[in-house]
Structure 1
Amino acid sequence: MDFTGVVAYPTTPFTADGAVHYAELRRMISSLAVSGVDSITVLGSSGSFAYLDRAERAAVVKAAAEEAGAANGTVPVYAGVSAVGTREILTLAADAEDAGAAGLVVSAVSYVPLMAEEVAAQTRTLADRTELPICLYNNPGTTQFDFPVELVGELSTVPNIVALKDPGGTPETFKTRTAAVHEMTSDGFAHGISGDTAIVDNAVAADAWHSGPAALLPELYVRLRAALVSGDAAGFAACREVLTPVIHTLASQRKLSSLHSLARACGWDAGDPRLPLLPVPGSQQRDLARLIDGID
């Protein structure tokens, strides 16, 4: 089943002059593919999709698909294709498919917040143009559009719309949302959770964990999820004790910039985020580095 388990969203590394660091990207993907994660999604928010042009996005997908395929052919590589315009989404989706993507992730990005009928029409248009499985990304904090359960149910009738990535909220609200989504969709539709504080704090397995930090600390996330799913309370508590300070430190820092800092602390040459975003201050980078140094 697509978009289930640990779905890791790697950071796109940059060189000192702001170019995509493809050699380091390939090294990251090769390592991630054999780490135990269930799938890899490039060009999510963690991958700076909004700051890359069309050619760069296609090249990132191609590099990731090639490296993952060479390292472990069983781990699919999905691609984010979100954009402001429908025409751009269709172009990016075609590029991603040509580059070897096994599935697509799309959110309702827009300058003018979209209405439900506009999101429905855009998503159906995308689904009509590709046979790849599609995961809807509900990201109301950024898009100002919150997927109604009824719209999810309507879109799930399209054969290749197979999953929803939802913000975590509280354990109770997410469980209620999951029950509603599963009631409105057919068997096999995956309801995943995003937001790493929710993943770590709420102890909700969900059908999938969609995570940027999971691409940098994959073994911990894989162990954490396995312990939760199997009912290993002691194993879950041990993993959560290690992950919690890292995730809460990330949450207190600037989004995306903090992931580049975490990547650096984990030994990757990820560089700084692309301008106009600035790196986190040195003191915050050192805080993360100390936490990572303490992980066995």
Structure 2
Amino acid sequence: MDFTGLIAYPVTPFSADGSISHDALSGLVEGLATSGVDAITVLGSSGSFAYLDRAERSAVARTAIEAVGGRLPVAVGISSVGTREVLDAAVDAQAAGASGLVLSPVSYVPLTDDEVKTQVRAVCAATDLPVCLYNNPGTTQFDYSLQVVAELSVLPEVVAFKDTAADAATFNARHAALSALVPGVLSHGVSGDLLMMTGEIAADAWHSGPAALLPVHYARLRSAVVAGDQHEVDRVRHVLAPLVDHVAGLRKISGLHLLARACGVAAGDPRPPLLPSPGSELRELGRLLDVLESEFGDD
């Protein structure tokens, strides 16, 4: 797995009693397998990895991989507060048949460069799966420097970097600088749906939670951006960006569960302590979805 193209990060659906709804998860990822996305990653932030125990995470990975049935690569998020738990997750993901791993430097105490490099090397020693490093400083309080990424990219297992930035210009500048630092091939993908909605970042990959619920529209926008078709970029952005912007204004994870409900996906409410987004937001999400479908429903 090379972590290129459009990579969808589905929510983990929950039943009313808070247990994982494996039937709903199977249906969601099976639909993604024929939706136009290039790969799927379960147990990312969108997938509530932080609120699941080891057995639940392993079961989610197995359910998703079995449902996709080899039609697309399925990566598994292995982030955790402790390195021991990270390594357990990596071993479990490989046993489940994962195509790759996604790792962010999660910790109660923000990590140092040396601590992050030590953890990544430990993961690469424990598995031969391709690894995507994830820069999520807003959550982890660790911001990957490009020099650290370049140093870790010499590890054969490290094939990708999921990155973010304050704006499109900053991301594109980081992309150019990283390309000059890395001697080999490394997919430098963008995380942050508002960055994607600018239409100014092609990157090697788009990593997105909402794309798992709106895959056809995200695929349409990415294709237009990569092709340099500004007319199509503007056309899609005009109706997709307001919806994505509204979801971004909701609470993380909870907002995606509400969007799933608006899309007719039985994802349930997020697991406590997270509370669901207000049901009053559902009407606006429905309206924005109607606008989107009215523009592209006949295409």
Decide: shared fold, TM above 0.5: yes
Match of 2:54 in 1: 54
Whole-angstrom distance in 2 between the partners of 1:172 and 1:9: 25
Residue identity over aligned pairs, in percent, reads 56
Q: Between 186-195 and 144-153, report the one with greater CA deviation.
A: 186-195
Matches within 5 A, 1:201-240: 201-240=198-237
Match of 1:4 in 2: 4
Which amino acid in 2 is paired with 1:3? F
Whole-angstrom distance in 2 between the partners of 1:146 and 1:168: 10
Match of 2:31 in 1: 31
Whole-angstrom distance in 2 between the partners of 1:248 and 1:295: 13
Contact 1:168 1:199 in 2 (8 A): no
- In structure 1, list runs of 5 or more residues that go unmatched: none
2:90 corresponds to which of 93, 104, 126: 93
Contact 2:224 2:233 in 1 (8 A): yes
Q: Does 1:80 align with 2:102?
A: no
Matches within 5 A, 1:109-148: 109-148=106-145
SS of the counterpart of 1:263?
helix
Q: Does 1:18 align with 2:9?
A: no
Aligned residues: 293
Match of 2:65 in 1: 65
Contact 2:199 2:237 in 1 (8 A): no
- Find runs of 4+ consecutive structure 1 residues off by over 4 angstroms: none
Matches within 5 A, 1:137-216: 137-216=134-213
SS of the counterpart of 2:103?
strand
SS of the counterpart of 1:47?
coil
SS of the counterpart of 1:169?
coil
Contact 1:170 1:202 in 2 (8 A): no
Instruction: Give, in angstroms, the shift of residue 182 of structure 1.
Output: 1.1
Which amino acid in 2 is paired with 1:85? G
Which amino acid in 1 is paired with 2:11? T
Cα deviation digits, residues 3-47 of structure 1 (max 9, x gap): 111010001000011110100000001000110101000000000
Cα deviation digits, residues 49-94 of structure 1 (max 9, x gap): 001111110011001111111xxx3410000000011111000100
Instruction: Give, in angstroms, the shift of residue 293 of structure 1.
Output: 2.6
Whole-angstrom distance in 2 between the partners of 1:281 and 1:129: 43
Instruction: Give, in angstroms, the shift of residue 169 of structure 1.
Output: 2.1
Whole-angstrom distance in 1 between the partners of 2:290 and 2:169: 34
Match of 1:248 in 2: 245
For normalisation by structure 2, the TM-score amounts to 0.96
* RMSD after superposition: 1.0
Contact 2:81 2:107 in 1 (8 A): yes
Match of 2:297 in 1: none
Cα deviation digits, residues 205-252 of structure 1 (max 9, x gap): 000000000000000011111111112111111111121111110111
